[in-house]
Every structure is written in C-alpha cells, then in structure tokens.
C-alpha cells in the first residue's frame, strides 16, 4: 500500500500548501537563515533589475520581435 497524506480542507481551500523535497526545503531554510543568495541567482537578479533580461516569450515571433527591436536601439 502506498503512503497516504490527508490534507485538511482548511489548508487546501486557502492554497497555503506547498510540497518540496526535503533537501530543497533545507537549502531554502538555510539560505533564509543566513540571508544569503547563490551568486548566480544574485547576478541574474541584478541583470533583471538593470533591464538586461527580457522574456519569457510565448512563441518564436515574440522572441524575434524583441531581438529586432533591441538591434534598432
């Protein structure tokens, strides 16, 4: 028999339930406690804030439109 988890209706209705693998949870918890961010993530966030990152695109047309408009600048 497989393991069964019962989720209380109160939690399920509010959408307050998130399931993560334990190792991911522990990494997030440690990062929160240390208030540190992975250097790659930090770099990516700074690029987003600087406007260097665009996307995501729904299709290739949007991608090419964005590329063409950035070349015209």
Residue 3 placed within a domain: no
Q: Number of folded domains in the chain? A: 1
Q: Which of 13-17, 41-45, 52-56 has the highest mean pLDDT?
A: 41-45
Q: Which domain holds residue 62?
A: 9-72
Give residue 5's pLDDT: 78
Instruction: Answer whether residue 62 is part of any domain.
Output: yes
CA distance 31 to 14: 26
1 domain-assigned: no
19 pLDDT more than 60: yes
pLDDT value of residue 39: 76
Residue 20 lies in a domain: yes
Is the residue at 48 inside a domain? yes
Q: Which of 13-17, 23-27, 32-36 has the highest mean pLDDT?
A: 23-27
Q: In the predicted model, is pLDDT for residue 29 greater than 70?
A: yes
pTM over 0.75: no
Whether residue 58 is contained in a domain is answered as yes
């Amino acid at each position: 028999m497989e393991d069964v988890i019962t989720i209380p209706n109160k939690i399920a209705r509010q959408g307050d339930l998130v399931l993560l693998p334990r190792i991911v949870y522990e990494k997030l918890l440690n990062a929160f406690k240390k208030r540190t961010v992975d250097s790659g993530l930090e770099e990516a966030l700074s690029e987003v804030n600087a406007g260097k990152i665009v996307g995501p695109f729904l299709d290739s047309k949007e991608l090419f439109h964005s590329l063409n408009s950035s070349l015209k600048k």
